[in-house]
Amino acid sequence: MQSLTSSSSGINPKSLTRTKIQSNRVNPNQLVIRCVYRFDSANAAANTGTVRTNGNGAPASYNSAGHVGASRAEWQSSCAILASKVVSQQQNALKSGGGVGNITAVNGHKSTTDLDLVPKPLTITDLSPAPMHGAQLRVAYQGVPGAYSEAAAGKAYPKCDAIPCDQFEVAFQAVELWIADRAVLPVENSLGGSIHRNYDLLLRHRLHIVGEVQLPVHHCLLALPGVRKEYLARVISHPQALAQCELTLTKLGLNVAREAVDDTAGAAEYIASNNLRDTAAIASARAADLYGLQILEQGIQDDSSNVTRFVMLAREPIIPRTDRPFKTSIVFAHDKGTSVLFKVLSAFAFRNISLTKIESRPHRNRPIRLVDDANVGTAKHFEYMFYVDFEASMADVRAQNALAEVQEFTSFLRVLGSYPMDMTPWCPSRED
């Protein structure tokens, strides 16, 4: 059994100063985690120099802090080490049991009184043993029961114990601190676009992407029983959900105030616990059930095939394989800004590797570069981090060669994960 140490959880203790961490036991199966910590980017930079190992002290598939190895040979030897571990990991997974199952939930409560138990600080006794020791897999998600993220956690890990967290950051930290074994977090929606916060957090934390799930998202308009649309003065929800229903709300004549809250189900819970008769929430049918609200309208997303893509995160990477479709996510930057982008992308194009996503985010350590080539004043260029997803496994020699080439063009490169693609047949009519 591995105990919780700063090295085993993969975080540099210097980079995270935990100022408050509290757990809220809602019922014996449910833990709501709230914590606040200060992130020290100077120490985090130092973190990139640490050598990450697996539980046995052997190198993980990505070297220090998940960076691509210094050479192709290093990549290949990392993959070989990982390949030798595949059998034991699969056996562990089998022992832990898989299959269709339940998500922990607050059943049928109509007020939030029991959700508002006085928070008690998280103690060492709240930290369970390492994953895969016979207990259910604990999966952190952002939101409260009834959130789409909870449904995504259930789709990714059908028998899991889903752990609600009030912020994305808390879900990351729950995994790092061994409170949870996995986190399932949204990264993009077909209508609302990227969830930038999670891209930034992926870079800031040392977790690995080990899978993806795509969840069809069917929004409902929820209100207290007896409330009619004409009584409504505002609609509240997660900003993504508000964006995904913008046109439909207008078509329904709901030109009322729209206010953002932390998550869709949290909006439903807020209405129920405060008995708000002039407010509706955009949330799932399951949230209506959990918080005792009625469904005023169903399927109010602007596009019927609305889908959100979630990634699963773990402390250790999985072993890349070639016997099924894999995707790999990387992030890179270059000292000379965007000029490198074409070269990097061509490393994939020349090898017929398809890109599925490209995203740029501010380079937070160095957001601006001053240039004065023409000696006519100083131009300020924005600096970016580029996130790319491509359709190949890191066990595929084409991907290894492409990354070896990318590494030559970039000053920073990190593999966020190489994981099976979600190939679930598309069913836009499915209700959550």
Ligand X SMILES: O=C(O)C(=O)C[C@]1(C(=O)O)C=C[C@@H](O)C=C1
Q: Judged by CB, which is closer to ligand X: 185, or 399?
A: 185
The encoded tokens of residue 90 equal 């699969």
Task: Say how far apart CA 415 and CA 411 lie, in whole Å.
Answer: 14
Q: Judged by CB, which is closer to ligand X: 79, or 185?
A: 185
Q: Mask 329-368, x = binds ligand X (CB under 6 A)?
A: ----------------------------------------
CB of 403 to ligand X, least distance (A): 30
Q: Mask 194-233, x = binds ligand X (CB under 6 A)?
A: -x---------------------x----------------
Within residues 255-274, the interface with ligand X by CB under 6 A covers 263-265
Q: Judged by CB, which is closer to ligand X: 66, or 164?
A: 164
326 counts as catalytic: no
Within residues 161-200, the interface with ligand X by CB under 6 A covers 186, 189, 195
The encoded tokens of residue 264 equal 């869709």
Within residues 288-327, the interface with ligand X by CB under 6 A covers 308
Select from 241, 340, 399, 416 the one that contacts ligand X (CB under 6 A). 241
Which sign does the torsion angle of CA 120, 125, 131, 132 carry? negative
Q: Judged by CB, which is closer to ligand X: 60, or 265?
A: 265
Count residues contacting ligand X (CB under 6 A)? 15
Applying CB under 6 A, the span of 11-19, 145-153, 249-257, 409-417 interacting with ligand X comes to 145-153
Closest residue by Cα to residue 353 from 321, 389, 317, 308:
389
390 counts as catalytic: no
Strand locations in 114-171 (E)? 120-121, 138-142, 161-165
What b/e readout covers 134-147, taking b as 16+ CB neighbours within 10 angstroms?
A: eebbbbbbbbbbbb
Q: Judged by CB, which is closer to ligand X: 240, or 418?
A: 240
- Find tokens 């210097």 and name the residue: 14
Query: Is 388 among the residues that bind ligand X (CB under 6 A)?
Result: no
Q: Judged by CB, which is closer to ligand X: 308, or 410?
A: 308
Query: Is 147 among the residues that bind ligand X (CB under 6 A)?
Result: yes
Strand locations in 294-401 (E)? 294-298, 307-314, 326-333, 355-362, 368-371, 379-382, 384-390
Q: What single-letter DSSP state applies at residue 306?
A: -
CB of 341 to ligand X, least distance (A): 27
Applying CB under 6 A, the span of 79-87, 237-245, 249-257, 360-368 interacting with ligand X comes to 237-245
Task: Say how far apart CA 194 and CA 359 lie, in whole Å.
Answer: 8
Which sign does the torsion angle of CA 263, 264, 267, 272 carry? negative
Name the packing angle between helices 72-96 and 397-409 (round to 10°).
130
Task: Say how far apart CA 259 and CA 257 lie, in whole Å.
Answer: 6
Summarize as ranges the residues that interact with ligand X (CB under 6 A): 143, 147-149, 186, 189, 195, 217, 238, 240-241, 263-265, 308
Cite the active site residues: 308, 310
